[in-house]
Structure 1
Amino acid sequence: MAENNKVDIGFLEEKNSWQLHPKFFPSKVGGKPAWLDLQNLPNPSQLTCKKCSDPLIFLCQIYAPYEERNDTFHRTIFIFICRNGSCCRTNSSENFVVLRCQLERKNDFYAFEPYDENIEEEFPMDKYPKLCDVCGAKGPSHCSKCKKSYYCSRKHQVLDWQKGHKGTCQQQETIKLPYFTVTEAGKSVLFKEWDLAVDEEDEAEVSDVDVDKEMDKLRKMMEEKRAGTLSNISEDELEQYSGTVPEDKVFNKFNKRIARHPEQVLRYDKGGTPLWITGNTENVIQIPICQFCDGERQFEFQIMPQLLNFINVGIDFNSIDWGILAIYTCKASCNAGPAYKEEYMIKQDLSN
């Protein structure tokens, strides 16, 4: 990741699923999580929506090591979200969970030297906890009939039964599926999978025309309920975000900055400040300290609204939505507590 006050930005690229295996320490969006610590996985109760109690679904992960420290040589931040749009409330992150995990370079799971990303080598997963066939979370329960399919929750077990497991449950031979195979049930809940490529943001100037184009795009996203608002918006409200009436200076700054790279879905700026999407920051409260070491947290990165265009969430009134997702993590990146430690998110939307 960039240093010296530079910001790294992330773009989505298509990649073979085997190239997004945990051993390659990927940054990725959608599909199943590429867990870092393969043994001490979060319990399903950690990945349950606070609103509806449904299992959360993997949204994305950012590989962000502190390579100058041995204990954080490998380090990944994971974000999970509830797929139920009704749980998505303006300026509330209660339908999300953010987890941080880190490992020393010499650990129980991966080789000391990097793996060859051009070779699809076998990486046995049998000795690690079973994963949910549907979503890839820890699967403590299994099918009582075949005892070969595992699930994080009753909801995902029922879904898998309805989507195909009923017809294959008691077949004499069960084919061993690759780590990232997505079942028919998984296809109905998981987001489209992408590799997340990260590079340093350049400082190229953009024209007013380019800025206006980006503002028009976000205006259209707002109208489609896909840029941080779940409420009906009047024409007067929309007008304040148009290029002709720039009342929200923060929103204008946001558009001018992203116009340099309109397809960016991530901004990484450890220790910096989020690129807020609007001047309405009433939801930005004092960031809580780390519950594991009592140290302060700092801003690390943000997920941009453009990501909604890539993960096939739809534009229904009750689809999930956000303006920006600002992630704050323990400044010391402490080792206290469980292997997967919960961190803090601010969800900022365009309207109240």
Structure 2
Amino acid sequence: MPTITDMEEEMIENLHLQDDDDVEDDDEDEDESSDEEEDVHLGFLDDLKHPYAQSKAGGTPVWLDPINIPSGNDSCCGVCGNPLQLLMQVFANIDDASQRTLYVFMCPSMACLQQDQVEQRNSKPCRSVKVFRCQLPKKNPFFSELGVPLSSGVALCSWCGTWRGAKICSGCKLARYCSRQHQVSHWKSGHAANCRKIQSSSMTVAAVSGLTVNQNSSELVNGPGSQVDCQVKAASTGLWPEFEVIDKYMDDSDSGDSNGKVSTNAIEDEQEKDGEFFKNFINMEASKDQKHWASFQERVANNTSQVLRYCWSKNAKILWPRLGGQPQNTDIPNCTVCNGPRYFEFQVKLLSDAWFNMILCGNNLEQKSLCNR
């Protein structure tokens, strides 16, 4: 996993959460009323200052309900079958639920992410991106109003620290795993030697059953009756870098073009980035797709490091980077509980900043928006 440079660290320290004021949309096919932007909040990354941050990116999740954790096929990629990793968790309380968190998980394989786009319109899609929602009343048995854990949870996987550790190592009887894949990964990364040491030592399962997780090695998992931490120090070094998505608001009135027109400079700047090909294109009439892309670039120009766009409104609109691939309302299934329509609430933006560059890990991918509907 690449390391963060000094310049990237300085950039991350200056990131914050802002309001995205109304910006006109240049899409010629939409009504003028679509230019009325709802109250959109932009999320930015910052150093993680609290282990139980309500909104965070990367690392391991802070489960709002540490007992009822998704398991089985829900926790795995529908394409390759491997366990998913936390991309971001978003704290989004509403009137009916003062404790409400949305968890976005994604498969580490970029090939699976691309396949996910193909699968979205299938009646029974195999998804490599999944979103889980958990909401609790103000008074609940798991977290205080200040966000402090109140009770124990299930033992988590020693390797990923994310999913329920339902499988126990047959050797040491201490390490737990959510899947065969993570058991093998942990074994190859050093647990083989540690497992033998534990077996040859005088320590017994009974002697350590009341201990909490060893924060250095993640070898010990909580036994029956012990106070299980809501977060486990995962043994895996392959988790995505962990940051906090902080809650701060600032004026963003300069975002976008005041007259709603597409700036030719925005198109030309994008062309120059790709070298000689775009030199022959600058003087050509821009297509509808190119204008849409330029409009998208203008919209995020003043906040290029944003990683989250959130809007709690039935009239909220997705900021699409491209015209192609946008789902129709008929492509979006109704709620499986009440059978009512689903509405857009937030989108995660995979833009070119330090954190997401490390997520992409050199894969040649275009900019993505993962929208929760």
* Same topology, TM > 0.5: yes
**Alpha-carbon displacement from aligned partner over 1:305-333 (angstroms, at most 9, x marks no partner):** 2177414134544x7765211111xxxxx
Alignment match, 1:265: 307
- Where do 1:1-352 residues align within 5 Å? 5-16=38-49, 19-21=50-52, 24=53, 26-66=54-94, 68-69=95-96, 72-89=97-114, 91-92=117-118, 94-111=127-144, 113-115=145-147, 127-135=152-160, 136-169=162-195, 170-171=197-198, 172=201, 176-178=213-215, 179=229, 180=231, 182-184=233-235, 186-188=236-238, 190-200=239-249, 202-205=251-254, 216=269, 235=277, 246-247=286-287, 248-271=290-313, 272-286=316-330, 287-306=332-351, 309-311=354-356, 312-317=358-363, 323-328=368-373
**Which SS does the other structure have where 2:82 is aligned?**
coil
**Which SS does the other structure have where 1:46 is aligned?**
helix
The whole-number CA distance in structure 2 between the counterparts of 1:12 and 1:211 is 30
The whole-number CA distance in structure 2 between the counterparts of 1:150 and 1:103 is 28
The whole-number CA distance in structure 1 between the counterparts of 2:348 and 2:280 is 25
**Which SS does the other structure have where 1:9 is aligned?**
strand
Structure with the higher strand share, 1 or 2: 1
The TM-score with structure 2 as length reference comes to 0.69
How far did 1:44 drift?
A: 3.2
Change (3 A) 1:128 1:315: closer
Change (3 A) 1:165 1:213: farther
The whole-number CA distance in structure 2 between the counterparts of 1:12 and 1:29 is 8
The TM-score with structure 1 as length reference comes to 0.72
Paired residues, what number? 295
How far did 1:249 drift?
A: 2.5
Change (3 A) 1:183 1:6: closer
% same residue: 28
The one-letter code of the counterpart of 2:246 is A
Alignment match, 2:219: none
Alignment root-mean-square deviation, CA: 3.5
The whole-number CA distance in structure 1 between the counterparts of 2:62 and 2:46 is 17
How far did 1:85 drift?
A: 2.2
1:133–1:183: 8 Å Cα contact kept in structure 2? yes
The one-letter code of the counterpart of 2:129 is F
How far did 1:235 drift?
A: 4.3
Alignment match, 1:345: none
**Which SS does the other structure have where 1:304 is aligned?**
strand
Greater RCO, CA 8 A, separation 6+: 1
The whole-number CA distance in structure 2 between the counterparts of 1:148 and 1:214 is 57
